[in-house]
Structure 1
Amino acid sequence: MEREQIEELFEESGYHDLNSQLAYKVWMTGIWDEEDEEKIEAFLDAYSFEGEGILTDEFLYHYRIFAYIHEKNALFQRQIF
């Protein structure tokens, strides 16, 4: 995922402050290079980072937890149907 796309995701989710703090750093890690944009949007919608000063490592830690749960939930849904 390109840096501009990451910036747009932050902006569209209403996280202007996070955009200026984290977009470049998240892009540099490459963790979202192959990630599904819908999953990232769901993460940004599910978590509340307002009023927090958050480090990149902490932000990505929360994302990894969300991504793991999201993946396991998707596998569970496929098994039911």
Structure 2
Amino acid sequence: MTDDYRVLLLQASGSIFTNHDRYTPLEFSHYYLKEIFQNLMGFHQFHIVRAQGTAILEQDAILQSASDDMTKTLEKFYAPN
């Protein structure tokens, strides 16, 4: 039923959780959602695009970073298997 189904998660956060610092372990939502979509629901691929630092960074920097991440992720998302 879910052959080649793909999930694209768009996530915004007030802080930055992907710098491999003390905050990184606090970002667990994508691990949980990936397990739900892939192992429970049987989706084939799981991708995430983040807009991070909304409480601490300038809007233009956040949007540029998210846009770059979206461009890279969409290439993988729409690539044939």
Q: Same fold (TM over 0.5)?
A: no
- For the aligned pair, the TM-score class normalised by the smaller chain equals 0.3 to 0.5
More helix by share: 1
More strand by share: 2
Q: Select the structure with the greater relative contact order (CA < 8 A; seq sep ≥ 6).
A: 2
- TM-score normalised by length of structure 1: 0.35
